[in-house]
């Protein structure tokens, strides 16, 4: 799934990135404060070199609690150091008081009224350290970080979604075509990879069109896009990089309902103020669809999926994200470039890093 980057600098090839526990840290931000009372024990845990499932399996084996009794807001990477919140019935509290494991540390515990469920998080705070960074590259990295902090980033699905061989998209399509049989859990995962791949293709096209509006005048745009003059003029006047089109699906940011963009001027102002964002289609049934010019562009990507829509649950994903509290520093004595930033749930730090480095990390 080839991405189109929105930043224009050349690839920064010489810096080194590794998802180890020193150079890649993820801290989950809970959706709400825990009440301090109730039937559920909430554990704030730190793990390294383990997936969330592997950690829960260790908890299950040693405590006697079944895997289904644990609650979590999201699955965290195996590589690196990650913290997250796990819930389980308070009857297991005594076990966790004495829990010890070389790759897992329980940071704190609290009681709460309900089990943590998938999606019960605001987002994640990331720390990334790049090594072997020369001063000339540190200047490029600083400029890229500044632009993303100001303008945002295209919210692609990360390479992790598509498997080590990158073939999860095709496997998902084969399932929908009836060519492959899989167990239900794997089937749903592969179908979601197909939806993710279509979204990435659509987003790459929208980023490419937005770059046209950045690089060409109205006359040139009319020759390239074959749109009417008024539509080109209206979009050209938008101040932000990622252009909204009439009929786009928009979404209140970072929470709220999806709606159609009918008043382009008003919604552009709200998008520029980071109050809303454009949203892309995750192919499936019962999801609001775009209209007008936005629908014409969308159909070029999603036409192939129309025959499968009743086999998938439709939804939307933010096309454009905004990194919050973006901090960065160059430590020349160590040749380290370090970044801290916060992303909403479902966004990938590796996607932001790929935009900054202007190259794929899955090579």
Mind telling me the catalytic residues? 77
Reduce the secondary structure of 275-332 to three states and give it as a string: CEEEEEEECCECCCCCCHHHHHHHHHHHHHHHHHHHHCECEEEECEECCEEEEEEEEC
What is the three-class DSSP state of 3?
coil
Phi, psi of 178 (to 5 degrees): 80, 15
How many C-alpha atoms does 14 have within 13 Å on its Cβ side?
A: 10
Helix (H) or strand (E) holding 342: strand 336-344
What string of DSSP letters covers 184-197?
Answer: HHHHHHHHHHHHHH
| Residues 6+ away with beta carbon under 8 Å from 17 | 23, 24, 128, 130, 131, 353, 357, 361
CB 300 within 8 A of CB 205: yes
Phi, psi of 285 (to 5 degrees): -80, 160
241: left (phi over 0), alpha (psi -120 to 50) or beta: alpha
């Amino acid at each position: 799934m080839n991405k189109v980057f929105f930043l224009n600098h050349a690839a920064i090839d010489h810096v080194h990135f590794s998802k180890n526990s020193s150079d890649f840290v993820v801290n989950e931000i809970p959706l709400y404060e825990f009440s301090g009372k109730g039937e559920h024990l909430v554990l704030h845990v730190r793990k390294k070199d383990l997936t969330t499932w592997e950690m829960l399996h260790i908890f299950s084996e040693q405590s006697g609690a079944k895997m289904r009794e644990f609650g979590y807001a999201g699955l965290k990477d195996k590589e690196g150091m990650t913290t997250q919140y796990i819930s389980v019935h308070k009857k297991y509290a005594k076990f966790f008081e004495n829990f010890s494991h070389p790759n897992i540390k329980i940071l704190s515990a609290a009681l709460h009224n309900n089990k943590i469920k998938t999606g019960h998080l605001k987002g994640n705070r990331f720390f990334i350290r790049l090594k072997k960074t020369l001063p000339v590259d540190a200047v490029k990295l600083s400029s890229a970080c500044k632009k993303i902090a100001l303008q945002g980033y295209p919210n692609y699905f990360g390479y992790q979604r598509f498997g080590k061989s990158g073939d999860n998209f095709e496997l998902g399509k084969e399932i929908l075509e009836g060519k492959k049989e899989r167990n239900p859990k794997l089937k749903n995962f592969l179908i979601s990879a197909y939806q993710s791949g279509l979204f990435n293709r659509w987003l790459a096209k929208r980023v490419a069109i937005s770059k046209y509006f950045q690089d060409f005048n109205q006359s040139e745009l009319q020759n390239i896009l074959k749109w009417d003059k008024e539509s080109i003029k209206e979009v050209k006047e938008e101040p932000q990089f990622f252009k909204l089109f009439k009929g786009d699906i928009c979404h209140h940011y970072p929470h709220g309902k999806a709606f159609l963009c009918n008043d382009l001027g008003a919604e552009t102002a709200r998008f520029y103020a980071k109050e809303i964002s454009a949203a892309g289609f995750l192919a499936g049934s019962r999801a609001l669809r775009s209209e007008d010019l936005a629908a014409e562009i969308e159909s070029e990507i999603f036409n192939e999926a129309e025959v499968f829509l009743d086999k998938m649950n439709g939804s939307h994903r933010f096309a454009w994200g905004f990194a919050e509290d973006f901090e960065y520093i160059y430590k020349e004595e160590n040749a380290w470039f370090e970044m801290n930033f916060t992303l909403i749930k479902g966004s990938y730090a590796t996607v932001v890093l790929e935009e900054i480095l202007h190259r794929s990390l899955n090579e």
